[in-house]
Amino acid sequence: MCSRSSAHDREAPGPEGVEVKRGEYKKMGLYDFVRRDIERFHAHPECLGYLAFAFSLNLSTTGSAAGVGSGDFHIYRGIRRREYARLEAIEQSAEEERLNQEFQERQRQLDALAEAKTARRRMKRQKKKLKRLNKRTQLKTTDSNEKVESGSDSEDSQHAD
């Protein structure tokens, strides 16, 4: 247990090493106050009441409306608005990219279906064309065969006369 009375009753060195008795007061600066507190702590280390802990002031209050001026709040609002707009633009571009990917995939599927359908129709047209050409060539060959046969018959009939 620390006794404060003993610390106050004894003589303590004042500024510039001058002994100051109880009841006498000298002007002390910040350095003198700190030196006095350190000396008191060394005299009675078990008693921490002599040390005055410094109050730490947090000066970065950006984003809070408490303890700042209206200008800082408007700056904070502007920063927040721009950040939300940036995030919204990122989300919107991601959504557009997703929709574009879906569209491209759907377009590839439709193109593949259209290509398959076109290939089937092309094959059908080519078969039809081949049949038509084969039919013509058959008709020509049968006509020429008939002409040849009929021509030989007509020659026989002319010789028979």
pLDDT attached to residue 94: 96
Q: Report residue 142 as tokens.
A: 């049968």
Give Cβ neighbours of residue 43 (< 8 Å, ≥ 6 apart). Answer: 7
Q: Where are the domains of the chain?
A: 4-50, 60-129
Where b means 16+ CB within 10 Å and e means fewer, 93-107 reads eeeeeeeeeeeeeee
Dihedral sign for Cα 103, 106, 111, 112, please.
positive
Tens of pLDDT, residue by residue over 64-120, are 556 667 788 888 899 999 999 999 999 999 999 999 999 999 999 999 999 999 999
Written as one string, the DSSP assignment of 17-81 is G-EE-TT------HHHHHHHHHHHHHH-TT-GGG--PPPP-----TT-STTS-HHHHHHHHHHHH
Tell me: pLDDT of 33 over 60. yes
pTM score of the predicted model: 0.37
